[in-house]
Chain A
Amino acid sequence: MSPQPQAAVGAPLSRVDGPLKVTGKALYAAEFDVDGAVHAVIVDASIGRGRITSINTRDAERHPGVLRVISHRNAPKLPYRDNSGSNNPPGRRLRVFQDDRVLFHGQPVAVVVATTLEAAQHGASLVEVGYDAEQPSTDLHKGKPGKPTTYARGDADAGLSDADVRLDLTYQLARNHHNPMEPHATIARWDGNKVTVWDKTQWVVGTHDEIAAVFDLPADGVRVINPFVGGGFGSGLRCWPHTIVAAMAARETKRPVKLVLSRRQMYFGTGFRPSYEYRLRLGSDRRGRLSAAVHDIDAETSSYETFTEGVMVPGQMLYSMPHVSQAYRQVPLDVNSPIWMRGPGFASASFVIESAMDELAHKIGIDPIELRRRNEPSEDEGKNLPFSTRRLRECYTVGAREFGWNRRNPRPRSKRDGNWLVGMGMAAGVYDPGRFPAEARARLDADGTAVVESATSDMGPGTYTSQTQVAADALGLTMRTVTFRLGDSLYPQTGPHGGSATMASVGTAVVDACNQVRKQAIKLAVEDRESPLYGADAGDVVVRGGRLHVQGTPSRGETYRSLLARHNRSHLEARGSYTGPPTPERESYAAYNATFAEVAVDATLGLVRVRRMLGVYDAGRIISPKLADSQAIGGIVGGIGTALLEHTVTDHRDGRIVNANLADYLVPVNADVPQVRAIYLDGEDNSGNALGVKGLGEVVQVGVAAAIGNAVFNATGRRVRELPITAEALL
């Protein structure tokens, strides 16, 4: 840890970008005023698989204001250089307008560029596309799975057949779409052979690299800018085809082009949390000690890319047991590629495992928390590593106390409130946070203010605020005198803003850069005969409020301003870095939670209403408590959606998504969310980063759906093994 006093870190501060956001002045991707920009609208395929046989653009081209219609008939051939980075999964990525193949319903088949948005929209409706349609395969249950990824320890089949108590449960998990409130959007402008792209992305670096690869441009031929991201939850982790379409259209028309996906296009123009069929067989003794588990996991992917996520991890390490076998199979379908969505893999697996644990507890007649305590491992049995920190037991204790778990009647359907059946449930959650190499640059100016830059993003968790907090403390400045900048590919490089990795990764690089700058200043001072700090031990000098002084002797010191002025220095600057977690890993590093739910179910109609929820988190050190509280509550709200509302419905006859809008794809609204509370356990985890953080963004959604499902069982006696849990399933 830094010897610096921690004034900003840990303080419940308001967002530094709050005033911009509440006045409408924060600029999102489509809102940059790029001189001369024209509008582009994508025409998407109306078949689920097949070939384009004709494209009639006559009416569209005659429509007033339409400048150009581009399709595979007249599109330039693009180099599409290989790019295994940018979060591109293995496979052959979709190439826009490069051939006549249609791989999924909604694939871009043409783009209309016009001087006005209205003309582009209407022009797109006038493009007539003829197809030779084939029967698409979009049903997970009817697809042919690929080769499984497997894991095994012990002898799970033997363990299972020897077990006193056995469960064999199959779960269906619906596809979810991220649906950030800001639609994906791109403005592209070419200046000669260089392109500037304002793009909604969680990773300006990844989008930069992909555009460079697709158009075969040198690294300095692309710049990606995105200072504000209107939500992401994972949807911005890749560069999607529409970004390439916008850049291509701009180059072809020699005009800056603005392209905004419609809400409907978001459902096939960006990724999604894949649907799953997950069979879990579980064996235990009569006291609930687990002995064996067999996991058969099928998930959808596209026909052209193999998408994977961490769905196998919880089954390997959440509970102690000698025998585990897992097979995770991707089922290629005629759909667009999935992408990680909040708590990727872990949220899906946790619904299965935590629902099954509740079934087991009920079956053998012990409390669900007690069952989990009996199976608490002493080390990570998947990785064979000690835990850096794992405080799940404390999460249970605090959660049970704060939620009033002792008021739960273990007998289902035993509590009524008028016509409502009331029940409580809980679940455990885990997430193994990402950690990526990252760089940052810090510059202390002669006026005593500082600017810190890194090519990360802020999709909502508060990167601007929390990075300013860590930078301010490391530099010994106030929040007001530090500016943190992000969202520009020209800034020092980072990994993606996702996987709960940003604070551990970027934050460590920011602290490193700021520590170096502070130490440069201290060195200048202690070696300067004119400084009151001359001769002091550099290790004894701290900085507070922009003033350097000897620790314990505040009177002996001077300000950054006077120091830099005397030395005629306009600024001090340093570049900091984080190189990623130690390899090989020496400890199992993960964030944990216990989530509690109380629901009421209408006894006649099967309607489920969440009454109150509580999450208790072991997430390491909390940098920005006010924002962390919002993030946790938001994760729970997201989990309520997965549990009760969210379900992307595909018409398997033609591969069309039938509820591709926010009126039919239901997400939680204000009336769905009464009382939600979050508690973070005090503490830190210093295994992998100097800040002691474990990452929050994912773990807060893991386990939420299971807690709700378990509460529904406690309320009704009905066990629903399908997400979302709808009224139909409870009638």
Chain B
Amino acid sequence: MSTEVPESAVPPPAGADESSPAPSRRTFIATTTAVGGAVVAGGVIGGTSLLGQEEASAAGTVPSSRVSLTVNGARRTVTVDNRTSLLDLLREHFELTGSKKGCNAGACGACTVLVDGQRVNSCLTLAVRLEGVEVTTIEGLADGDQLHPLQQAFVDHDAFQCGYCTPGQIMSGVGCIKEGHTGSPQEIREWMSGNICRCGCYVKIVRAVEQTARGK
């Protein structure tokens, strides 16, 4: 199912060159390096910059790109700062804050979404490379008021406490079940270990995934 929606109201960043829809290879690499460096350092570079001065200034012109993607069934076309991650696109521009930022470095899994059915860390995925893909976030999992079986299993097993890692755990669990990595609790534990739960609900997360996998 796909719903046409008006183009997102996200404004192009100031200074973006509207006439060149795609960044040049050089600036793309430069900005990717810059974003990659920032991501590795935990998202924010302060006085301890990992960036060389050259890279930093190369990224100064803020190139942007148009990208069309489907999010939870709705087609969206946006002009996006090339530095924007899928996670920030969802949270800061699409008001889909269900996907969480825990580490911004691919270490915690709180940002897990499905891209074309595969679970990915949206914090490590640049939005500009997602032309034509289908993204499913936690907001798109339930069927109206009817929770997805794994969402219901999380509630039934009390597989969360603070709830912050929960959307990522559930999206990762949906992926895990789809991949068939649910043959035993031990296998589930291994394949769900990319998602940290600091409240320590792992025992119950495994039960919820196991039960849902059996019932599918």
Contacts and interface: CB of A to CB of B under 8 A. Distances in A.
B28 interface: no
Interface stretch (A278-286, A329-337, A352-360, A666-674): A666-674
Contact of B203 (A41, A109, A127, A633): A633
Given A14-B155, A264-B42, A63 B108 contact: no
Contacts of B81: 116, 118-119
Interface in A238-271: 260, 262-265
Contacts of B60: 59, 62-64, 122
Nearest to A20: B163
Contact of A27 (B45, B51, B97, B161): B97
Interface in A669-727: 669-676
A15 B142 CA distance: 18
A125 to B, nearest CB: 4
A233 B81 CA distance: 36
| Top-4 shortest CB links A-B | A24-B98, A637-B200, A264-B42, A230-B164
Nearest to A200: B164
Contacts of B152: 22
B42 A265 contact: yes
A461 B161 contact: yes
B29 interface: no
A656 interface: yes
Interface string A622-663: 000011011101111110000000000000000010001111
A31 B195 CA distance: 21
Contacts of B186: 674
Contacts of B51: 125
B86 interface: no
Nearest to A115: B14
A633 B204 CA distance: 9
B46 A671 contact: no
Contacts of A230: 100, 162-164
Contacts of B205: 670
Interface string B195-216: 1111111111110000000000
Contact of A24 (B139, B155, B199): B139
A661 B14 contact: no
Contacts of A633: 200-201, 203-204
B88 A18 contact: no
A613 to B, nearest CB: 10
Interface residues of B, number: 82
Given A27-B97, A125-B56, A636-B200, A21 B163 contact: yes
B88 to A, nearest CB: 6
Given A118-B88, A634-B199, A662-B108, A124 B204 contact: no
Contacts of A668: 200, 202
Interface in A24-69: 24-28, 30-31, 33, 41-47, 59, 62-65
B13 interface: yes
Interface string B82-118: 0110001001100111111111110110100000000
A183 to B, nearest CB: 7
Given A14-B158, A22-B147, A44 B102 contact: no
Contacts of B161: 231, 460-462, 627, 630-631, 634
Interface centre among B42, B61, B139 (most CB of A within 10 A): B42
Interface stretch (A174-182, A203-211, A504-512): A174-182
B170 interface: yes
Given A181-B102, A181-B197, A22 B15 contact: no
B167 interface: yes
A264 B200 contact: no
A180 B162 contact: yes
Contact of B206 (A21, A63, A462, A670): A670
Interface of A: 14-15, 17-28, 30-31, 33, 41-47, 59, 62-65, 109, 115-119, 121-122, 124-127, 129, 178-183, 228-233, 260, 262-265, 459-462, 626-627, 629-631, 633-638, 656, 660-663, 667-676
A124 B138 CA distance: 31
A237 B49 CA distance: 30
B54 interface: no
Interface centre among B139, B142, B161, B170 (most CB of A within 10 A): B161
Contacts of A180: 162, 164, 198
B43 A23 contact: no
Contacts of A23: 98, 138-139, 141-142, 147, 151
A181 B162 contact: yes
Nearest to B59: A122
A718 B56 CA distance: 51
Contact of A15 (B43, B139, B158, B192): B158
Contacts of A27: 97
Given A27-B97, A33-B95, A181-B110, A662 B45 contact: no
B42 A181 contact: no
B166 interface: yes
A517 B164 CA distance: 35
Contacts of A229: 162
B193 A676 contact: no
A676 B203 contact: yes
A125 B45 contact: yes
A661 to B, nearest CB: 5
A19 B147 contact: yes
B13 A25 contact: no
21 contacts: A19-B155, A24-B96, A31-B97, A44-B47, A45-B46, A63-B62, A64-B61, A65-B15, A118-B83, A122-B38, A124-B45, A125-B45, A178-B198, A180-B164, A181-B165, A233-B198, A262-B44, A637-B202, A661-B105, A663-B107, A670-B195
